[in-house]
């Protein structure tokens, strides 16, 4: 059996398979379907300083090989997370990572300061890429200056592993990744959803209440792979790759493109047991290809 | 309740008419306990146009024969693909999901189903019958072919019917059916059907201070409370229809009625 361990900054993962924010709840929703302690990590729903109700229904539209969502960061706020949710999930024997979202710099800082104290949260994923909230969110992630500014401020306030989640809705994602690296991030994850839209021709109305939404699922995989490849060549810190991963082969493709770890998102909706199967599948791939350690696959694309 | 992800085997596919069919599904294992109002997220195979699972209510369960029944209306690619299933095919389900209707503190109830909305009500009627609760059933639809399973319902109580065109039962909307004159006799209404119909019914129930539970059919992605796509506004904020519903008491909802 191959060694599946990977490292991001100082943090070790038992394998490179994490679940993506907003697609895996807080983990306990999936307990009937898989063994969470077999995963490399889980990234919980985008968490903001104050509770948020998100956008009005309808928030979802199915698309060819994917879906659009406009959930808009509905969450109970950091205090409810710490006091009510964290106690229920902290026993999970995996890396629990909080996806931190916000619309103001001060809010990000206030949230990460509270997270510093939680023993069982070894890392955060800073979401500067949510396309579904009007203020901030993605705005931070679409210019090098603002991405660097927010990363720097959070780096100063947060002691543990800092992953910054990048938006694909930019002209040059590698430039943004470089800015975030220079500002002190330990890692970048990409991609968040692509801005898209769905129309109901019969009613002549948009399907989503917000008109536009974030596209995810296998339809975005080629774009995500390309971006992971470009970014991993441009920076030295580890890249976490995601976007449309449906099975172990997809996950291996991201590793080959340069990702150190991967996240499973929309696939959790189709098969709630998929992330554990992907752990097994990567192991089998390594055995089949006589690979002793999964780290040998990282960036091993033959050109 | 523990949820499962299982391959079930199609043991029957009964066509009711051009729009509706009932799938019988069985398993080598005993089926899990399911409650009226709960649903399954069904995986549609062999159609690349269908990506997400489709939520379908538990229509009935025959534990003696280990068969789960799903009543489906063909409205698009997913449901059309399901209609082609044949005996022996497998169907992957994530189930049972969602909450259930409340049946405590009632002695005399009315079930109201519009079109495909009867899907969760047959199993509810069976359940109420077992609890010895007096049950009356009101079925409605546009035309005769929308009135489904009325014989099956008759095992559990008196059945009233309305069609918009008068082709079966009383002519007009089901909310105008003669049984509605007796609304105050009922301790609770249970309703599933098109949203406008449920809102009219909920308004009448409110007027007569009769308790009313409705089953919502918001579009879903995960069905297990993870994606937050299926929410409905309630008096306690946005709630997931897939985990905190699909059954809600109308008092919880922010309906302008
Ligand atoms: C909890 C729950 C229980 C359900 N139980 C049943 C059941 O027992 N039997 C049954 O036949 N159906 C049931 N439905 C509805 C069923 O899920 C949809 O009809 C189905 O997903 C449509 O898939 P499709 O691919 O055939 O159509 P699509 O191609 O997805 O859609 C066809 C058309 O129907 C509309 N539509 C699709 N889904 C919905 C929806 N949920 N609400 C309003 N409009 C919609 C679309 O906008 C489109 O115009 C239930 C839904 C929920 C949420
Ligand atoms: C319903 C839904 C909710 C999401 N919520 C968040 C979120 O709160 N924070 C975040 O950073 N990304 C969020 N995402 C984006 C995913 O984490 C992921 O980046 C994206 O879906 C692409 O991966 P996938 O194609 O594997 O799903 C969400 C995606 C979906 C589908
Ligand atoms: S459908 Fe995903 S939360 Fe309800």
Phi, psi of A179 (to 5 degrees): -60, -40
Query: CA angle, corner A284, sides to A279 and A289, nearest 5?
Result: 130
- Which residues in chain B are contacts of A33 at CB distance < 8 A? 3, 5, 94
Distance CA A229, CA B196 (A): 50
pLDDT at res. A138: 67
Distance CA B213, CA B73 (A): 22
Q: Is the CB of residue A73 below 6 angstroms from any atom belonging to ligand 2? A: yes
What's the rounded mean pLDDT across residues A158-166?
97
The reply to whether B222 falls in a domain is yes
Q: Ligand 1: list residues with CB < 6 Å.
A: B 39, 50, 54-57, 71-73, 75-79, 116, 119, 217-220, 246
Residues in contact with A11: Cβ distance below 8 Å, sequence separation at least 6, in sequence order:
A95, A122, A123, A160, A161, A186
Round the average pLDDT of chain A to a whole number and report it: 95
Report how many domains make up chain B: 2
pLDDT at A139 over 90: no
What's the rounded mean pLDDT across residues A114-123?
96
pLDDT at res. A137: 65
pLDDT at B107 over 70: yes
Same domain, B81 and B130: no
Share above pLDDT 90 across residues of chain A, in percent, rounded to a whole number: 93
pLDDT at res. A133: 65
Q: Which two tokens stand for residue B80?
A: 């059309």
Contact between B238 and A74 using a beta-carbon 8 Å cutoff: yes
Q: Which ligand is nearest to the CA of B55?
A: 1
Q: Give the tens place of pLDDT for each residue, A53-110.
A: 999 999 999 999 999 999 999 999 999 999 999 999 999 999 999 999 988 899 999 9
Q: Is B146 left (phi over 0), alpha (psi -120 to 50) or beta?
A: alpha
Contact between B224 and A272 using a beta-carbon 8 Å cutoff: yes
The reply to whether B198 falls in a domain is yes
**CB-CB contact of A23 with B227 (8 Å):** yes
Backbone Cα Rg of chain B: 18
Same domain, B113 and B240: yes
User: For chain B, which residues lie within 8 Å of any Cβ of chain A, measuring from their own Cβ?
Assistant: 2-5, 43, 48-53, 94, 218-233, 237-238
| Nearest residue to B191 (alpha-carbon basis) of B209, B208, B204 | B204
Closest residue in B to A217 (Cα–Cα): B51
pLDDT at res. B151: 95
Q: Ligand 3: list residues with CB < 6 Å.
A: B 220-223, 225-230, 240, 242
Tell me the sheet residues that pair with A12.
A7
What's the rounded mean pLDDT across residues B106-128?
96
- Which residues in chain A are contacts of B51 at CB distance < 8 A? 62-67, 217, 270
Distance CA B160, CA B234 (A): 31
Q: Break chain A into its structural domains and give their ranges.
A: 6-297
Distance CA A227, CA B244 (A): 38
Distance CA B121, CA B129 (A): 12
Q: Of B54, B77, B97, which residue constitutes the final position of a domain?
A: B97
| Nearest residue to A230 (alpha-carbon basis) of A263, A202, A191 | A191
**CB-CB contact of A124 with A66 (8 Å):** no
Which member of A57, A64, A270 has the closest CB to residue B231? Answer: A57
Q: Of B49, B64, B97, which residue constitutes the final position of a domain?
A: B97
Q: End-to-end CA distance of chain A, in Å?
A: 28
pLDDT at res. B46: 92
Same domain, B140 and B211: yes
- Distance (Å) from the C-alpha of residue A182 to the closest C-alpha of chain B? 33
Which member of B49, B51, B53 has the closest CB to residue A217? Answer: B51
The reply to whether B102 falls in a domain is no
Same domain, B86 and B114: no
The SS3 of residue A102 is: coil
Same domain, B14 and B115: no
Query: Using omega within 30 degrees of 0 as the cis cutoff, is the peptide bond preceding B96 cis?
Result: yes
Q: Which ligand is nearest to the CA of A268?
A: 2
- Which residues in chain B are contacts of A217 at CB distance < 8 A? 51
Q: Is the CB of residue A150 below 6 angstroms from any atom belonging to ligand 2? A: no
Same domain, B130 and B208: yes
Q: Give the tens place of pLDDT for each residue, A227-273.
A: 999 999 999 999 999 999 999 999 999 999 999 999 999 999 999 99
Residue B245 binned pLDDT confidence (cut-offs 50, 70, 90):
very high
Same domain, B64 and B130: no
What's the rounded mean pLDDT across residues A16-44?
98
pLDDT at res. B65: 98
Choose from A46, A269, A274 for mutation: most chain B CBs within 10 A.
A269
Same domain, B199 and B77: no
Which member of B224, B229, B233 has the closest CB to residue A71? Answer: B229
pLDDT at res. A31: 97
Same domain, B177 and B50: no
Range of the domain at B168: 108-252
Same domain, B29 and B120: no
The reply to whether B103 falls in a domain is no
Residues in contact with A292: Cβ distance below 8 Å, sequence separation at least 6, in sequence order:
A2, A3, A286
pLDDT at A130 over 90: no
Whose alpha carbon is nearest atom 10 of ligand 2? A21
Same domain, B146 and B26: no
CATH number, domain at B86?
A: 2.40.30.10
| Nearest residue to B182 (alpha-carbon basis) of B112, B103, B100, B105 | B112
Active centre residues of A (catalytic)? 130
The reply to whether B257 falls in a domain is no
Contact between B4 and A57 using a beta-carbon 8 Å cutoff: no
Give the mutation target among B52, B227, B229, B231 for probing the ligand 2 site: most ligand atoms within 8 A of CB. Answer: B227
**CB-CB contact of B124 with B200 (8 Å):** no
Query: What is the whole-number distance in angstroms between the Cα of residue B186 and the centre of ligand 2?
Result: 46
pLDDT at res. A126: 96
Q: Is the ipTM of this complex over 0.90?
A: yes
| Superfamily grouping for domain A6-297 | Aldolase class I (3.20.20.70)
CATH number, domain at B186?
A: 3.40.50.80
Same domain, B83 and B139: no
Whether the predicted model's global pTM rises above the 0.90 cut: yes
Counting from 1 in the atom list of ligand 2, the atom nearest the Cα of A46 is 8
Counting from 1 in the atom list of ligand 3, the atom nearest the Cα of B226 is 3
Give the mutation target among B51, B224, B234, B248 for probing the ligand 3 site: most ligand atoms within 8 A of CB. Answer: B224
- Which residues in chain A are contacts of B3 at CB distance < 8 A? 32-33
Query: CA angle, corner B40, sides to B36 and B46, nearest 5?
Result: 150
DSSP B48: T
pLDDT at A136 over 70: no
């Amino acid at each position: 059996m191959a060694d599946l361990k990977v490292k991001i900054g100082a943090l070790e993962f038992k394998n490179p398979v994490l679940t993506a924010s907003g697609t895996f709840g807080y983990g306990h929703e999936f307990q009937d379907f898989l063994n969470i302690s077999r995963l490399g990590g889980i990234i919980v729903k985008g968490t903001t300083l104050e509770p948020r109700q998100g956008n009005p229904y309808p928030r979802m539209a199915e698309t060819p090989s994917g879906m659009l969502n406009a959930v808009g960061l509905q969450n109970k706020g950091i205090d409810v997370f710490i006091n009510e949710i964290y106690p229920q999930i902290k026993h999970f024997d995996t890396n629990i990572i909080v996806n931190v979202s916000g619309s103001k710099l001060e809010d990000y800082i206030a949230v990460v300061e509270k997270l510093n104290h939680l023993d069982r949260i070894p890392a955060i994923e800073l979401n500067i890429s949510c396309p579904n909230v009007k203020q901030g969110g993605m705005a931070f992630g679409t210019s090098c200056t603002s991405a660097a500014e927010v990363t720097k401020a959070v780096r100063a306030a947060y002691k543990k592993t800092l992953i910054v989640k990048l938006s694909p809705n930019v002209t040059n994602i590698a430039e943004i990744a470089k800015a975030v690296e220079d500002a002190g991030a330990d890692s970048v994850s990409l991609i968040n959803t692509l801005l898209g839209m769905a129309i109901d021709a019969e009613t002549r109305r948009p399907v989503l209440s917000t008109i536009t939404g974030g596209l995810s699922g296998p339809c975005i995989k080629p774009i995500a792979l390309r971006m992971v490849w470009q970014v991993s060549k441009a920076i030295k810190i580890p890249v976490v790759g995601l976007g449309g991963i449906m099975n172990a082969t997809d996950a291996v493709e991201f590793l080959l493109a340069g990702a150190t770890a991967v996240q499973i998102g929309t696939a959790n909706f189709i098969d709630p047991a998929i992330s554990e199967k992907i752990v097994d599948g990567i192991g089998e791939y390594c055995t089949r290809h006589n690979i002793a350690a999964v780290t040998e696959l990282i960036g091993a694309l033959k050109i | 309740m523990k949820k499962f992800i299982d391959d079930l085997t199609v043991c029957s596919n009964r066509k009711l008419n051009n729009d509706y069919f009932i799938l019988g599904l069985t398993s080598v294992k005993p089926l899990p306990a399911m409650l009226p109002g709960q649903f399954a997220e069904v995986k549609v195979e062999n159609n690349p146009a269908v990506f997400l699972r489709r939520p379908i209510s538990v229509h009935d369960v025959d534990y003696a024969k280990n068969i789960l029944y799903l009543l489906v209306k063909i409205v698009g690619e997913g449901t059309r693909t399901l209609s082609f299933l044949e005996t022996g095919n497998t169907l992957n389900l994530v189930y049972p999901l969602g909450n259930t209707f409340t049946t405590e503190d009632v002695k005399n109830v009315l079930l109201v189903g519009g079109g495909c909305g009867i899907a969760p009500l047959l199993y509810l009627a069976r359940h109420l019958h077992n609890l010895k609760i007096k049950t009356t059933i009101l079925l409605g639809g546009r035309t005769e072919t929308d009135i489904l399973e009325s014989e099956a319902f008759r095992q559990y109580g008196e059945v009233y019917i309305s069609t918009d065109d008068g082709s079966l039962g009383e002519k007009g909307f089901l909310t105008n059916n003669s049984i509605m004159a007796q609304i105050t006799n009922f301790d609770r209404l249970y309703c599933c059907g098109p949203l406008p119909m449920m809102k009219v019914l909920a308004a009448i129930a409110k007027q007569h201070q009769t308790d009313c539970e409705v089953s919502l059919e918001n579009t879903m992605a995960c069905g297990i409370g993870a994606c937050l796509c299926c929410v409905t506004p309630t008096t306690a904020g946005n709630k997931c229809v897939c985990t905190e519903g699909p059954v809600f008491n109308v008092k919880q909802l922010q309906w302008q009625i």
